[in-house]
Amino acid sequence: MPVEPLFHISHETCIKCYSCVRICPVKAIKVNVSTEMPSIIPERCIGCGSCYHACSPKSISFRSSIEETRAILSSGEQVAAICDPTISGEFHDITDYRKFVEMIRQLGFTYVSEASFGVDLVALKYKELFENFRGKYHITANCPAVVAFIEKYHPELINNLAPIVSPMVATSMVIRKKYGPDVKVVFIGPCISTKDEALKFEGDARIDAVLTFVELRQLFNEYNIRESQLEFSEFDAPLGHKGSLYPISNGILQAVDISEDLLSGNVITTEGRNNMLHAVKEFDSRIEYIRKNFNIFYDEGCLMGPGTSPGGEKFLRMTLVTDYANKRLSTFDKETWQKEIGIFSELDLTRQFEPDDQRLPVPDEEKIEEVLKMINREGHLHNEPGCESCGYSTCRDLAIAISQGLATTEMCHVFSGHNRQEYIQTLRTANENLAKTKAALKESEETARHEHEVQKESADIITTMLQNLLSGVVIVDEDLKIYQSNKAFIRIIGEEAAMIDEVIPGLVGADLKSILPVHFYKMFSYVLTSDEAIENKDVQFGENKLGVSVFPIRSHKYVGGILRDMYVPEVRKEQIVTRLTEVIDENFEMVQKIAYLLGEGASKTEQMLNSIIDTYKNPGKTQ
């Protein structure tokens, strides 16, 4: 059955800050090009938990063992809890470790043991290995993240890993030898990577579940288990000696007095992410000059493991660990301890390691240079250091990772900053252009407002002019609907038109066919269709005779008509012509603006007026 990956990134809450990508020591997190979302590559992950702590929105979670532990506790079988000695630094809020032991028992565990006895056994094996030097230097195999790092990224050093099980596994073997092979074992500790380490062992060495301290606190809260409500309870035998110093990086050495003397000792202890990376690299390349065994922990000792509560203070936890060790040693029965060491020293604590090479091929030089050019680092030397803000020690390393599809150019802060500056400048320019556009728009609105006022004034002048003509004037559209007419036209048409005018001023929109007889409105229809004018045609309209001129204003769209009552004393043509000419002359410039601004309305009226003038001046001329 496939095992769930140790870590998972939730894309629902991820803010794409890429802190996880930058902090990962083996670049086991890639960014999807299309979604820009980071995803963990399980086979490349060493379980260090750096990404888990670096994720500010808490989008990264680790594989929970709470339900698995519940199932084990409710199985009806005997279950032993193995507590890492780091409990003394983690649970500073619990006043006495014996209360802590009883709290664990209340969860349903049959036995509660401390891994410090397993530390003692393992430490004795290291003492034997280091003191019986046979020409090969070793790296301690107590930190599962370090072991995974070597198996996956330095498989050539597998033979240098100390072939000794971790204290967790050693203690599990002790539990089953003492209480029987069928006992279930749950390890409780500060490390997340032990969840994957536990999967590698079977038989008496197997671990059935691994709880982090964070998960243990969750169980205490769920079951409402509180120190104040419980009595003391001691760890089940066998009890450890100085193995309780194990949470401190060199604690395993001091547990059995392995020399750390700078002049005569043969072990170097180092801790922390960067120190681990450099230590393994130098062990690989310079061990013939260094000539020391390496005791390496990924975190700053187990004290600061990723499975501990966040915000822990390292030196406070160190003090709590040493205080706890001193308290235990003040009443320690060393004689009993030595007997038990003798009993369990026969256990086979050796182990083997399997190479799992996850190194990717290095891209060709041309590709690397192409990426360096892309991030403005063209010509970057092989060993020239970078700012390391991307998570890589050199710009070249970043370029290689980008070529391998593990990183993106946006991880380079210099490149991203340059892009941001360009973006800011673009925004600044855009804002300036926007301000100019707003100013131009405001000016345009002012101009439009002024032109609208001029338009209205001009329209009023033209309307007044039309209304004061003695002849009837009407303009109709292509549907023979009245577009505009004057009072003279309404008067000439008669009372019916006057009644409509009271409801619809100017007869605007009225159907010409409903106002004029058939032979009359067909003249307008003919002009609309033929685009030819009809000049001075006498038309009988009721008892009146009208002189009618119909002419096109806009081809097939609008026509105008002039109606003169032949029985009314005619005003001399010269007077009409003079009046119209004066009005046109006085308003010529304005009419031109109106023709431009008003569009069809003013243009139609101007054409109509000019047509009227021409009709009076040249009665025989065809329009």
Average pLDDT across the chain, whole number: 86
Enclosing H/E stretch for 444: helix 413-467
**How would DSSP label each residue in 114-140?**
ETHHHHHHHHHHHHHHHHS--S---B-
Res 512: pLDDT? 85
Res 517: pLDDT? 83
| 3-state DSSP assignment of residue 268 | strand
Res 580: pLDDT? 52
Segment 106-120, tens digit of pLDDT = 999 999 999 999 999
- H-only helix segments in 291-389: 314-329, 334-344, 365-374
State the architecture of 1-64 in CATH terms.
2-Layer Sandwich (3.30)
Res 496: pLDDT? 81
Distance CA(401)–CA(387), nearest Å, equals 16
> What phi and psi, each to the nearest 5 degrees, are found at residue 359?
-70, 140
Which band of pLDDT confidence, cut at 50, 70 and 90, is reported for residue 208? very high
Locate 305 and state its tokens. 């493991």
φ/ψ region of 203 (left if φ > 0, alpha if ψ in -120 to 50, else beta) reads left
Which band of pLDDT confidence, cut at 50, 70 and 90, is reported for residue 176? very high
Provide the residue type at 421 as one letter.
Q
Res 261: pLDDT? 92
Q: Which residue has the higher pLDDT, 185 or 411?
A: 185
Segment 558-567, tens digit of pLDDT = 999 998 877 7
Res 615: pLDDT? 57
Segment 597-611, tens digit of pLDDT = 445 555 555 565 666
Pick from 288, 295, 600: which is nearest to 475 by CA?
Answer: 600
Provide the residue type at 452 as one letter.
H
Res 622: pLDDT? 44
Res 623: pLDDT? 41
> CA 489, 495, 498 angle in degrees (round to 5)?
60
Distance CA(108)–CA(81), nearest Å, equals 10
Assess whether pLDDT exceeds 70 at residue 87. yes
**How would DSSP label each residue in 526-588?**
HHHHH---EEEEEEEETTEEEEEEEEEEETTTEEEEEEEETTSPPPPHHHHHHHHHHHHHHTH
- Contact indicator for 42, 51 with CB cutoff of 8 Å: no
Pick from 44, 43, 41, 5: which is nearest to 26 by CA?
Answer: 44
Res 10: pLDDT? 95
Give the global pTM. Answer: 0.67
Pick from 469, 483, 488: which is nearest to 603 by CA?
Answer: 483
In the predicted model, what is the mean pLDDT of residues 70-97? Answer: 93
Locate 425 and state its tokens. 């400048």
Locate 210 and state its tokens. 């691994």
Assess whether pLDDT exceeds 80 at residue 320. yes
Q: Which residue has the higher pLDDT, 496 or 579?
A: 496
CATH 3.30.450.20 fits 452-617, yes or no: yes
In the predicted model, what is the mean pLDDT of residues 468-477? Answer: 86
Enclosing H/E stretch for 8: strand 7-9
Centre a 10 Å sphere on the Cβ of residue 363 and count the other Cβ atoms it contains: 17
**Locus of tokens 């000439």:** 492
Domain residue limits, the chain: 1-64, 78-307+316-344, 365-411, 452-617
| 3-state DSSP assignment of residue 346 | coil
The overall longest dimension of the chain from CA atoms, in Å, is 148
Segment 329-378, tens digit of pLDDT = 999 999 999 999 999 999 999 999 999 999 988 888 878 778 887 776 66
Which band of pLDDT confidence, cut at 50, 70 and 90, is reported for residue 314? very high
